[in-house]
Structure 1
Amino acid sequence: MDFHCHLDLYPGARDVYREAAQRNEFTWLVTTSPKAFAATSRALPASPSVLISPGLHPEIAHERAAELDLLLEQMTGVKAVGEVGLDGSPRFRTHYKVQRRIFRAVIARSAELGGRTLSIHSRRAVKDVLADLDAHPGYGTAVLHWFSGNQAELRAAQDRGCWFSIGPAMFDSENGRRLASAMPHNRVVPESDGPFATVGGKPVMPWSAPETAKRLAEVWNLPAGEVAGLLARNGASLRVSMEI
C-alpha cells in the first residue's frame, strides 16, 4: 500500500502507474492542483487499486488560487482529497495567507459534504492546520503526510485522532526517526511521496511499504513482519473512510 504518492509525476509515469496497479493492493495518487487532477484522471486508465484524488498543494497555492472553485466542485464526487494543507517554511511563507484561505475553504467544504479523508501537508504549520481542523469538527479524517513537527504537536495531532502517513525517506533524519517512534501504532500507514522523496539519491517507489515496515520496526522495537501486518490492517481500516 501507498497512501501518498505523486504517481503521475514520475519519469515514465504510465509504466510506473501500471506496475503500481499490479504490485500494490492500494495506491493513493495525490495531485497538486485541480487541473492536474482532471488531466491525470483522463490520461491514466482507471484501476480498482489506484485512487486519484483532487488537491491543491500549498507550495503552488499562490499560482493556482483561481482553481479553488474547481477543487470545491471536484470534492463533491470523491471521498478523498489531497494533497492539501499549509507550508510555513521560509520559501513559501510569503504566500501563507493565500494558502490558509484555500485550506480553510477545503476543510469547510469537507464538513459541508459530510466528511472527506484528507492527505495534509503541514510543514512548519502544524498548529494552524490543527486549528483549522478544529473549526470544522465534521471535516472527516486527517492523514498528516510526512509529519515533521515537534513532539508536542505530534501529541496534539494524536489527541485529535489524526492519522500519519510515513515513508522510508522520513528515517533519514534524527527528528523523523524520533517522531516515527512516538506515533500511535494503530494510526500509521505507509507512503512513498515519490518521486519527490528520495533515498540514496533515487526516488522512492510506490511499492516501498516493506522498507517502511522494516525501518519502523527498528524504532518501535518490534519484528518487521509484525509491523508489516499492522500497517496492512491500518491501511484496510483507513480505506473504509475513502470509499464512495
Structure 2
Amino acid sequence: MIYDSHCHLDLMDNNNMTSTIQSLEKENIGILSVGTTPRAYLKEVKMFNGIKNIHVALGLHPQLIGSGYDDLELFESLVQQCHYIGEVGLDFSKEYITNKNKQIEVFYRILLCCEKYGNKVVSIHSLKATTTVLKILNQLKRDNNNTYILHWFTGSIFQMQNAIDMGCFFSINPKMLKTKSGINLIQRIPPNKILLETDAPFSIKLQSTKQLRNILQNMTNTISMLKQINIKNQLIKNAKTIYIY
C-alpha cells in the first residue's frame, strides 16, 4: 500500500474529501489524517469510522497554542487511547514566536504523555524550531516503541543526522522536492527513514484519489532519481512497519 503520512483530511473541501474517502480502498492508498485540536480528533473519529485505510491522529497544532482551541487537558485525557498523535510540535516563525514558551511547555507535556504510555506514532511540526524540538526529544525519548516522524523537516544536515541517531523518520512532501535545501536533505536521508506526505490542503490542493496516487507516485519517482535507486518497495516497507493495515 502506498501511504500519505501527513494529510489534513478534515480541512479539505467537503466534496473533495467525500470523493477521496469513498475511493481510497479501491486505490489501495492509506492516509494518516492528522488533526489540529483534540475536539477535531473526536469529530474525525466519527467521520472516518470503519474506513480501514484512514488512521486518525490526535493533534494539538503549535500554531493554535493560545488561541482558545488548545485544550491540553482534553488532549491528555485522550492520548492513552490513541495510537497516532499529530500534528504536534513547535513553530517559532514570526507569526507565532510570541507563544514560544507556552508552545514549549505544551509540547513537553505532550511528549511526556507519549513516553509514559508508549506505542505511539507521532507526527511533529518543527518550523524554525528544529533545535528545540530535537533537544526535547533527546531529553525525553526512551528506549520504547514510539515512532517519531519529522513532518516537512527544514533543519540542517547536522540536525537531520541527530534525528536519525534518535531513530526518527522524515515525511517528505512535494514542496521539499522543489527547493535546493529540501533536495539536499532528501539525498542524505537513509531510504529506510523516508515516508511520503502531501500535507494537503496546505502543500497541495487535492481534488481526487487519482490525483493523490499520481502525486505519491511522482514523488516516489523523483526521490528514486535523486537517490539513484528504485525506492518504491522501501517506501511501502517503511509505511508497513509504522501503520496498522
TM-score, normalising length from structure 2?
0.89
Which of 54, 60, 63 matches 1:59?
Answer: 63
Name 1:167's counterpart in structure 2: 173
Question: 1:156 — aligned with what?
Answer: 162
Check whether the contact 1:171–1:177 (CA below 8 A) recurs between aligned residues: yes
User: Structure 1 residue 217 and structure 2 residue 224: aligned?
Assistant: yes
Q: Aligned partner of 1:163: which letter? A: F
Name whichever of 25-34 and 130-139 sits farther off: 130-139
Deviation at 1:17, TM superposition (A): 2.2
| Residue aligned with 2:199, SS | coil
Distance 2:64 2:24 in 1: 26
2:172/2:195 contact within 8 Å kept: yes
Name the CA distance, whole Å, in 1 between partners of 2:138 and 2:161: 15
Instruction: Write the deviation string for residues 21-65 of structure 1: whole angstroms up to 9, x where unpaired.
Output: 432442100011101111122233421111001101111122146
| Number of the residue aligned with 1:5 | 7
Aligned partner of 2:96 in structure 1 is 92
Report the residue type matching 1:3 in the other structure.
S
Cα deviation for residue 114 of structure 1 reads 2.4
- On the 8 A contact 1:2/1:24 being kept in 2, the answer is no
Q: 1:171 to 1:66 in 2, by over 3 A?
A: closer
Give the distance between the partners of 1:64 and 1:54, measured in 2 at CA.
17
| Distance change in 2, residues 1:83/1:22 (3 Å) | farther
Deviation at 1:109, TM superposition (A): 0.5
**Residues 98/129 of structure 1: CA separation in 2 closer, same or farther (3 Å cut):** same
Q: After superposition, what is the alpha-carbon deviation per residue over 1:83-108, rounded to whole angstroms, capped at 9, x for unaligned?
A: 00001111211111121111101100
SS of corresponding position for 2:5: strand
User: Of the candidates 163, 166, 181, which is equivalent to residue 187 of structure 2?
Assistant: 181
When residues 121 and 206 of structure 1 are mapped into structure 2, their CA distance, relative to the original with a 3 A threshold, is: farther
1:66 Cα deviation from its structure 2 partner:
4.6
Q: Percent identity?
A: 27
What CA distance in whole angstroms lies between the structure 1 residues aligned with 2:101 and 2:87? 18
Aligned to 2:234: 230
Distance 1:66 1:187 in 2: 31
Out of 105, 108, 128, the residue aligned to residue 104 of structure 1 is 108
Q: Determine helix, strand or coil for the equivalent of 2:94.
A: coil
Instruction: Answer whether contact 1:21 1:50 (CA < 8 A) is retained.
Output: no
1:134 aligns with 138
> Do the aligned partners of residues 227 and 66 (structure 1) sit closer, same or farther apart at CA in structure 2, a change above 3 Å counting?
closer
TM-score normalised by L of structure 1 = 0.90
**Structure 2 residue 51 is the aligned partner of structure 1 residue 47:** yes
User: How far did residue 234 of structure 1 move?
Assistant: 1.0
Shift of the alpha carbon at 1:220? 0.7
Could you say what the CA RMSD is over the residues aligned between the two structures, in angstroms?
1.8
Q: Which amino acid aligns with 1:87?
A: D
When the two structures are aligned, how many residues end up with a matched partner? 235
Partner of 1:27, secondary structure, is strand
| Structure 2 residue matching 1:31: 3-state secondary structure | coil
CA distance in 2: counterparts of 1:44 and 1:235, whole angstroms: 20
Equivalent residues in 2 for 1:112-123, closer than 5 Å: 112-123=116-127
Amino acid at match of 2:187: S
Counterpart of 1:78, as a letter, is C
Q: 1:24 to 1:31 in 2, by over 3 A?
A: farther
Q: CA contact under 8 A between 1:21 and 1:27: conserved in structure 2?
A: no
